[in-house]
Amino acid sequence: MDYGKNNYYRELQSLSLQDECKRCLNYHATLTMTDGSMFDGIIESVDGDRVVVLVGEYVMEEDDENESDQQRQYHNPRRRFRRFRRRAFPLNALVALSLLNYPYIAPPYTYYYPY
């Protein structure tokens, strides 16, 4: 049994993923890990063996904790916002990387100068 081939293949795969991470630096991307978990975040930096990502998490605003939810039924719902936390992932645990697609919104047509 030759385990050297598997390690060589894994090293080539991690090098290609490292180059892909460097290409997607400062972009919002989706990372898929070897255990099947998926994270979306902004790639902040890439080292030799790890990727530092700003991972977003949803947070609900707590405004009045003393009021019960029954009294809030006709008011505005609680606000939800995203907070980004820095997390480091090992490069060997990364399986796939893809950029999140954002729609391209064309700027409005500008008329010629005299109009």
Indicate whether 105 belongs to any domain: no
**How far apart, in whole angstroms, are the C-alpha atoms of residue 25 and residue 6?**
28
Q: Give the other-Cβ count within 10 Å of 46's Cβ.
A: 20
Residue with tokens 């954002």: 102
- Secondary structure (3-state) at 36: coil
pLDDT digits (tens, 9 = 90+) for 76-115: 666 677 788 999 999 888 888 888 877 667 677 666 766 5
**How far apart, in whole angstroms, are the C-alpha atoms of residue 4 and residue 11?**
11
pLDDT digits (tens, 9 = 90+) for 9-68: 455 555 688 888 898 899 899 999 999 999 999 999 999 889 999 998 877 666 555 555
Indicate whether 68 belongs to any domain: yes
Indicate whether 8 belongs to any domain: yes
**How far apart, in whole angstroms, are the C-alpha atoms of residue 45 and residue 18?**
10
Note the pLDDT of residue 32.
Answer: 92
CATH of the domain at 37: 2.30.30.100
